[in-house]
A and B are shown apart, each in its own frame.
Chain A
Amino acid sequence: MDITFSLPLLLQSVVSGVFLGGVFALIATGLTLIWGVMKIINFAHGEFLMVGLYLVYFLVTKLGINPYLTIPINFIFLFLIGALIFRVNIQPVLKDPVMNQILLTVGLMLVLQNLALLFFSATPLTYDNIYNRITYSIGPIVFPLANVLAFIGSLIVILLLGLFLNRTDTGRAIRAASQNSEAATLMGIDVSRTYLIAFGIGSGCVGIAASLMITFYYVSPTVGGFLGLIAFIIVVLGGMGNIAGALIGGLIIGLGETVGAALLPGSFSRLLTFLIFIFVLLFRPEGILRRGE
């Protein structure tokens, strides 16, 4: 195992990691909202992202829409898909054992993945665009505009979501329903509608993430498998339902991906990511931010 080390490479990977981590955090924010509010572990979350990426891809290549203008379209579309899936699939099993819910979403994951394979084939698609070619450099560190925009966009969306949850009536209702759904019902909150909105927003987040990622990431039927697992890792790191935690977890995993890839040979950094995940699950299942009881 030969480990190559150079300072510029390391700095470059730190910068790329932070930018990547921002987008990871946005994907994980959607998942943590769903997980935290209705305690559903949605294994199909990554596949929602994949659906979003395909939609953006066709909007930008076939209709020639600017990728950043697809953000609202994609948010609404994914919100509706999420809401529909919630009504048809998730709501009927809300009171079922956890494993039934997990298996249901695993089934959904397989269906979405293989439908995408059927319609779009396994060949990865990339979108050639100007945002990825415009680069800025500070000393030896080079970064494309696409990554900067994705990072800033993700931060803004996460911030807006935090404000929405803390400052609006619907947001407060979502938090109330997540803390104690029975008490929330007694306070006059329509819990099932609140769940629907939370699931929709959680799915909408990956729609926005897809619009931000299309400029520098690829699209393939299996892209959601890896990104979905990454989102799980971030959610567990940050503590479920914790949006600030998702942001920090996202940055940690983003840095781990790029710095690890720069320092370790092959895809050992991936292995490291999973080992961190297992250790956190075992020793701090409440996440790294919260103090133990």
Chain B
Amino acid sequence: MRRIKISQPVLIVIIVGILFAIIPVCLKNLPTKDYYLHIIILILLYAYLSSAWNILGGYAGQHSLGNALYLGAGAYTSTYLFVKFNITPWIGLVFASAFCALLGWVIGYICFRYGLKGGYFALVTIALAEAAVYLITNIKQLGGAMGLEVKWLGNKPLLMQFDGKVGYYYIVLVLAVFVLFLLTWLDRSRFGYSLVAVRENETAAEALGVNSMRVKILANVISAILTGIGGVFFAQYFTYIHPRLVFGEGPSVQILLFSIIGGLGTIWGGALGSLILIPIAEIARAQLGGAFAGAPLLFYGSILMVVMLFMPNGFLGLLQSFYRKYISHEKSVYTVRPRER
């Protein structure tokens, strides 16, 4: 008889998932529960999006500065199908995934075929997302600069529309838990090791038989599909999308921010980053909100600068070196961050 072995990271994901699953039940009688649920939904959504980015940016070391491209592509695909053809977002999700997979493959193929690296890859991805803003702005069928609105048709789970926040909460929780499972698998899989090998030294990885172009494209496709699914949820939850909102620099930066600050190329980096930062940013928004709309971005910008200057390995890297220095006394054998130069 085979015993089912559950590894430690998987167990942690399960426990955290269960803890988050009972939060809405605990908050049930609180009058301000919608506000708290909204913040946790944001935490889970960005934990999900950022972890999806971490596969490409952290594990494969290809820092896309324009992952909002896939967020927007997913959001626009499902919303367009919903608004124009009354196709439920649950089916729209399939189309959005397929479209983002194609987009991710084409972009990955072109970029990696021509050997774009580091800063140049970042510039191309940011330019693609920016080009998408102007493309969608000029397409009348997609609402142009005004964007698209998701019609409210009442509490219809079959149309991914819920009264209150709890329905959305469980959808995004499932997404977040799923991506964390994916990362625990990736972290110890052949594919994951290939990505890290390519990140650390592409020539050496090639010499060991890793098809670097194939694994990088695959990482881009996976990241694109996951981000696109996030986009479908984004549109359903916020019920309104416009080009700057989903393709702009704001979402692009937020998607990568949490992984970078939490820990690049780690299972928990994105989740930890969004868990720590989003509540602070939301409190800042609530305090300054009316007077100052830019509070969260000002906070994210400052924290990004501070982290890059003083702790370039993120929170997890800091914890890790602290642990090694004072508790286990072992020498640091590997760096979390890729070395490019």
| Minimal beta-carbon separation of A128 from chain B (angstroms) | 27
Tell me which of A115, A122, A268, A282 has the highest count of chain B C-beta atoms within 10 A of its own C-beta. Answer: A282
In-complex Cβ contact of B294 among A117, A232, A285 (8 A): A117
Which single member of A97, A108, A118, A229 contacts B340 (CB below 8 Å)?
A97
* Contacts of B264-312 to chain A: CB distance below 8 A: 292-295, 297-298, 300-305, 308-309, 312
Chain A residues within 8 Å of B128, by CB = 274, 278
Q: Fill in one digit per residue for A86-97: 1 if any B CB lies within 8 Å of its CB, else 0.
A: 000100110111
Report the separation of the CA atoms of residues A122 and B65 in the bound assembly, to the nearest whole angstrom: 25
Task: Give the distance in Å from the alpha carbon of A168 to the alpha carbon of B85 in the complex.
Answer: 68
Chain B residues, Cβ within 8 Å of A282: 110-111, 114, 116, 124
The 8 closest A-B pairs by CB, nearest first: A110-B301, A107-B304, A114-B294, A114-B298, A274-B131, A107-B305, A111-B301, A104-B308
A99, A104, A225, A271: the one within 8 Å of B135 (CB): A271
| Cβ-defined partner of A110 (8 Å) among B119, B135, B293, B300 | B300
Q: Chain B, interface size: which category?
A: 35 or more
**CA distance in complex: A113, B122 (Å):** 20
| B309 and A265 within 8 A (CB) | no
B273–chain A nearest beta-carbon distance, Å: 13
Contact in complex: B341, A97 (CB < 8 Å): yes
**Contact flag A108-B341 (CB < 8 Å), given A99-B119, A229-B130:** no
Q: Give the shortest distance, in Å, between A265 (CB) and chain B (any CB).
A: 7
Chain A contact residues, majority secondary structure = helix
Number of A positions contacting B (CB below 8 A): 46
Whether the Cβ atoms of B116 and A110 lie closer than 8 Å is no
Q: Is A277 an interface residue (CB 8 A)?
A: yes
16 further A-B pairs in the complex, CB-CB below 8 A; given A233-B127, A271-B138, A274-B128: A97-B338, A98-B119, A100-B337, A104-B304, A104-B308, A106-B65, A106-B301, A107-B304, A108-B305, A110-B298, A113-B294, A266-B138, A271-B131, A271-B135, A274-B131, A281-B116
Measured CA separation A282–B112 after assembly (Å): 10
* Shortest distance between the CB of A84 and any CB in chain B (Å): 14
CA distance A265 to B340 in the complex (A): 43
Q: How far is the CB of B82 from chain A (nearest CB, A)?
A: 25
Report the minimal beta-carbon distance from B120 to chain A, rounded to whole angstroms: 6
Distance in angstroms from B240 CB to nearest chain A CB is 19
Q: Which residue of the partner chain A has the closest CB to B310? A: A92
Q: Say yes or no for B216: interface residue by CB 8 A criterion.
A: no
Which residues of A are at the interface with B, using a C-beta cutoff of 8 A?
41, 89, 92-93, 95-104, 106-111, 113-115, 117-118, 122, 221, 225, 229, 232-233, 236, 265-268, 270-271, 274-275, 277-278, 281-283, 285
| Beta-carbon contact of B298 and A100 below 8 Å | no
What residues of chain A lie closer than 8 Å to B298, measured between beta carbons? 110-111, 114-115, 118
* Given contacts A98-B119, A104-B309, A271 and B249 within 8 Å (CB-CB): no
Residues in B with CB closer than 8 Å to A117 are 292-294
B338 CB contacts on chain A under 8 angstroms: 97, 99
CB within 8 Å of A: which B97-122 residues: 110-111, 114, 116, 118-120, 122
Asked if B134 is at the interface (CB within 8 A of a chain A CB), the reply is yes
Complex Cα spacing A100 to B127, Å: 19
A92 lies within 8 A of B309 (CB): yes
Alpha-carbon distance between A49 and B248 when the two chains are bound, in angstroms:
20
Contact yes or no, B340 A99, CB < 8 A: yes
CA distance A263 to B120 in the complex (A): 30
B260 contacts partner chain A, Cβ-Cβ < 8 Å = yes
Contact B134–A103 (Cβ < 8 Å) = no
Specify which chain A residues have a CB less than 8 angstroms from the CB of B94 in the assembled complex: none
Across the interface, name the chain B residue whose C-beta is closest to A101: B308
